[in-house]
């Protein structure tokens, strides 16, 4: 019966409850850092957080959203996570989206140390954000890196907080899909990735060799970390100098440059394509080898 809470699907929470106040504070970075927790807003982010194993500690839901997404809310409640029913007005105030969809989860941070990612896997494609400040851009690059099959995304130096609400939303769930490193120092990251066998390629529209250059393409077949700079001023020379090579997405028309998310999409998919062609080729050779023995 919509509108009546049952123990299985949550209990009503007033506008002044301590859990709600604690959640509201997570709209500020300093509180997120202190609590190592953030807000995942909307049914997609909440479902991804829950199903991808993020530590969800509270769910806030409106009565209409509980009806619409009953299975999800019931599953979260069944996992022993407190479900708090709040009014649409309280949700509007808690959520940062213009049209909140009535579901919001408090999640523990999901980022992992870079060393751990390298210890447990051999990353072949990594996106490295160097001072990317706009949360929408950073979240879109995270989503694109996920789509391109990247193995990690690193938020380095003065890059935006990956747990910023706008970044979480722009990532469309990808924050929960692939390992994210937060608050890293770019120079350290470059050293660590290089020691792990990755080439560091700086996406640099001004200085780089063109992405379609056959030699560049051949090198992209190996393990690669793409370094992307700030959306307004790109990568300054001292950061480009940290990389093994600068590479430019070629501009064939009259545009001065590409925006960050578009450039990242072209670069990451270029790597994904040549890495897969190579590994398909190796797989083919290996099968042929088996046939020959």
Distance CA 200, CA 63 (A): 49
Least CB distance to a copy of itself at residue 156 (A): 21
276 binds a copy of itself (CB under 8 A): yes
Question: Nearer Cβ to a copy of itself, position 30 or 232?
Answer: 232
How far apart, in whole angstroms, are the C-alpha atoms of residue 270 and residue 86? 46
**Of residues 162, 156, 211, 203, the one with CA closest to residue 32:** 162
Q: Which of 22, 96, 262, 278 binds a copy of itself (CB under 8 A)?
A: 262
Residues 6+ positions from 148 with CB-CB distance below 8 Å = 125, 265, 268, 269, 271, 272
Least distance in angstroms from the C-beta of 273 to a copy of itself: 6
Chain centroid to Cα 263, Å, comes to 17
* Using rule CB under 8 A, residue 146 touches a copy of itself: yes
**Distance from C-alpha of 56 to C-alpha of 46, rounded to nearest angstrom:** 9
**Contact between 15 and a copy of itself per CB under 8 A:** no
Looking at residue 274, the DSSP 8-state letter turns out to be H
Return the number of the residue (149 or 222) whose C-beta is nearest a copy of itself.
149
Q: Given the rule CB under 8 A, which of 12-20, 27-35, 156-164, 255-263 is the region that contacts a copy of itself?
A: 255-263
User: Which pairs count as long-range contacts for 66-70, CB under 8 Å and 24+ apart, including other chains?
Assistant: 66/2, 66/9, 66/10, 66/102, 67/2, 68/43, 68/102, 69/43, 69/103, 70/9
> Residue ranges of the alpha helices (H) in 95-198?
114-120, 135-147, 165-170, 186-195
- Answer positive or negative: Cα dihedral of 177, 273, 197, 263: negative
Quick one: 122 or 259, whose CB is closer to a copy of itself? 259
147 binds a copy of itself (CB under 8 A): yes
10 Å Cβ neighbour count for 145? 29
Contacting residue, 2, 7, 80, 253, with a copy of itself by CB under 8 A: 253
Q: Is 278 in the site for a copy of itself (CB under 8 A)?
A: no
Instruction: Select the residue interacting with a copy of itself from 174, 192, 224, 230 (CB under 8 A).
Output: 174
212 binds a copy of itself (CB under 8 A): yes
How far apart CA 90 and CA 150 sit, in angstroms, is 38
Least distance in angstroms from the C-beta of 236 to a copy of itself: 20
Contact with a copy of itself (CB under 8 A) among 39, 94, 128, 150: 150
Q: Which of residues 115-144 bind a copy of itself (CB under 8 A)?
A: 140, 143-144
Compute φ and ψ for 91, nearest 5 degrees. Answer: -60, -45
Nearer of residues 255 and 288 to a copy of itself, judged by Cβ: 255
Q: How many residues contact a copy of itself, by CB under 8 A?
A: 38
Is residue 89 within the footprint of a copy of itself (CB under 8 A)? no
Among 11, 121, 259, 286, binds a copy of itself (CB under 8 A): 259
The binding site for a copy of itself (CB under 8 A) comprises 140, 143-150, 170, 172-174, 177-178, 212, 249-259, 261-266, 269, 272-273, 276-277
């Amino acid at each position: 019966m919509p509108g009546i809470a049952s123990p299985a699907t949550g209990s009503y929470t007033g506008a002044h409850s301590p859990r709600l106040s604690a959640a509201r504070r997570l709209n500020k970075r300093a509180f997120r850092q202190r609590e190592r927790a953030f807000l995942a807003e909307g049914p997609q982010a909440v479902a991804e957080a829950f199903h991808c194993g993020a530590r969800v500690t509270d769910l806030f839901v409106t009565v209409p959203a509980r009806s619409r997404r009953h299975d999800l809310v019931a599953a979260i409640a069944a996992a022993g996570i407190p479900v708090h029913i709040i009014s649409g007005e309280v949700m509007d105030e808690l959520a940062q989206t213009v049209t909140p969809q009535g579901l919001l989860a408090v999640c523990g941070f999901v980022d992992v140390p870079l060393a751990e990612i390298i210890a447990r896997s051999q990353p072949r494609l990594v996106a490295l954000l160097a001072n990317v400040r706009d949360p929408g851009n950073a979240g879109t690059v995270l989503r694109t890196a996920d789509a391109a099959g990247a193995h990690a995304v690193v938020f380095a130096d003065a890059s935006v907080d990956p747990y910023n609400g706008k970044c979480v939303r722009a990532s469309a769930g990808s924050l929960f899909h692939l390992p994210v490193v937060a608050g890293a120092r770019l120079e350290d990251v470059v050293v660590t990735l290089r020691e792990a066998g990755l080439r560091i390629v700086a996406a640099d529209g001004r200085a780089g060799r063109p992405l379609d250059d056959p030699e560049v393409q051949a090198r992209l077949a190996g393990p690669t970390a793409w370094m992307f700079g700030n959306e307004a001023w790109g990568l300054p020379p001292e950061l480009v100098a940290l990389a093994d090579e600068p590479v430019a997405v070629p501009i064939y028309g009259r545009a001065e440059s590409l925006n960050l998310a578009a450039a990242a999409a072209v670069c990451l998919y270029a790597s994904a394509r040549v890495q897969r062609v190579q590994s398909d080729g190796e797989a083919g050779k290996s099968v042929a080898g088996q046939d020959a023995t």
